[in-house]
């Protein structure tokens, strides 16, 4: 007869489930303070480690805020807070062999969709904001740090056009996770101007209400950026081997001279 190993739920997980249920049902409302750790220990009949683990898990879910020296308070989860908690895991995934490519594909899927949506649904006010972001990007072409900021802002305006709070949060998370790509590519000679010209084409496609052209221009922009990034990364990966060869050649030269 087959035996099954059934694991008992951790005490902290049970506390999380009970407190989360109270928050969802409105028993504990936004802004309410939770009882002290000692009171929670007495209420749930568990030790301090279980309570602290539970509070940490609830904070990660964006359901409570824990301040230094103050009791935990119920908070309203936001897309930014939830995605922010994924940053550590995201950076680990980026270090995997295909991590950069997978995230780049996700970014492309997301931003191409935003460009198509903007071309169809952007209001006059949206276009004014997007054009202002483009103008700021153009004005900062000779100032690399400023260009990076205005580059991000241009894409952020596109993320805001659907009026969905999750999209700007995803945009900000992608900026954080893929910051190395922007830093590396924009330092390549001529890349700043190439990036600006791409933004200009994207704006014109959106303003002309052409979703197919908006999709093509955004896809081409992101593909070109990633191609440059991969080329630079490949050169850095090759450098240790070149350095090793130079070191061997130097040793042989000195050995022959002695």
Convert the pLDDT of each residue in 110-163 to its tens digit.
999 999 999 999 999 999 999 999 999 999 999 999 999 999 999 999 999 999
Alpha-carbon Rg for the chain, nearest whole angstrom, is 26
Comparing CA positions, the residue from 10, 206, 166 lying closest to residue 77 is 166
Instruction: Compare 108 and 78 and report the one with higher pLDDT.
Output: 108
Same domain, 110 and 218: yes
In a domain, 248, yes or no: no
Span of 2-11, 70-79, 131-140, 197-206 with lowest mean pLDDT: 2-11
* Burial group, residue 89, by CB count within 10 angstroms (0-12, 13-18, 19+): exposed
CB atoms within 10 A of CB 51: 25
CA distance 252 to 176: 46
**65 plus 117 within the same structural domain:** no
Bridge partner residues of 65 (DSSP): 73
Q: Are residues 122 and 226 in the same domain?
A: yes
Final residue belonging to a domain, choices 75, 99, 117: 75
Element (H, E) at 102: helix 99-121
**Does residue 33 come out as left (phi exceeding 0), alpha (psi in the -120 to 50 range) or beta?**
beta
Q: Residue 243: its pLDDT value, please?
A: 47
Do 215 and 103 lie in a common domain?
yes
Averaged pLDDT for residues 93-106:
89
Residue 226 structural domain? 84-238
Q: How confident is the model at residue 5 (pLDDT cuts 50, 70, 90)?
A: low
Same domain, yes or no: 89 and 128:
yes
H or E stretch at 73: strand 73-74
Residue 218 is assigned to a structural domain of this protein: yes
Q: Are residues 124 and 211 in the same domain?
A: yes
C-beta of residue 173 within 8 angstroms of C-beta of residue 84: yes
**Quick one: which of 59, 55, 164, 139 has its CA closest to 153?**
139
- ∠ Cα 124 125 130 (to 5°): 95
Number of structural domains (the chain) is: 2
Residue 40 lies in a domain: yes
Q: Which of 53, 75, 97 is the last residue of a domain?
A: 75
Task: Select the highest-mean-pLDDT range: 39-53, 77-91, 201-215, 223-237.
Answer: 201-215
User: How much is the pLDDT for 2?
Assistant: 67
- 172 and 57: one domain? no
Whether 258 has a pLDDT exceeding 50, the answer reads no
Q: What is the value of pTM for the model shown?
A: 0.72
């Amino acid at each position: 007869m087959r035996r099954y190993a059934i694991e008992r739920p951790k005490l902290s997980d049970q506390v999380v489930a009970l407190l989360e249920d109270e928050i969802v049902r409105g028993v504990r409302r936004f802004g309410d303070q939770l009882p002290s750790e000692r009171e929670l220990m007495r209420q749930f009949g568990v030790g301090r480690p279980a309570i602290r683990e539970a509070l940490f898990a609830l904070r990660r879910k964006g359901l409570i805020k824990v301040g230094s020296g103050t009791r935990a308070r119920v908070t309203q989860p936001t897309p930014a807070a939830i995605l922010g908690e994924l940053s550590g895991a995201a950076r680990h995934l980026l270090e995997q062999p295909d991590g950069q490519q997978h995230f780049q594909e996700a970014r492309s899927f997301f931003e191409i969709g935003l460009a198509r949506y903007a071309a169809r649904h952007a209001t006059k006010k949206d276009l004014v904001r997007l054009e202002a972001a483009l103008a700021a990007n153009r004005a900062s072409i000779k100032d690399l740090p400023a260009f990076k900021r205005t580059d991000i802002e241009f894409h952020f305006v596109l993320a805001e056009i659907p009026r969905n709070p999750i999209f700007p949060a995803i945009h900000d998370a992608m900026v954080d996770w893929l910051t190395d790509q922007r830093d590396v590519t924009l330092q390549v000679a001529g890349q700043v101007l190439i990036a600006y010209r791409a933004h200009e084409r994207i704006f014109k496609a959106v303003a002309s209400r052409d979703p197919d052209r908006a999709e093509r221009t955004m896809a081409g922009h992101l593909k070109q950026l990633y191609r440059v990034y991969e080329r630079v990364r490949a050169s850095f990966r090759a450098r240790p081997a070149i350095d090793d060869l130079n070191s061997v050649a130097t040793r042989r030269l000195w050995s022959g001279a002695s």
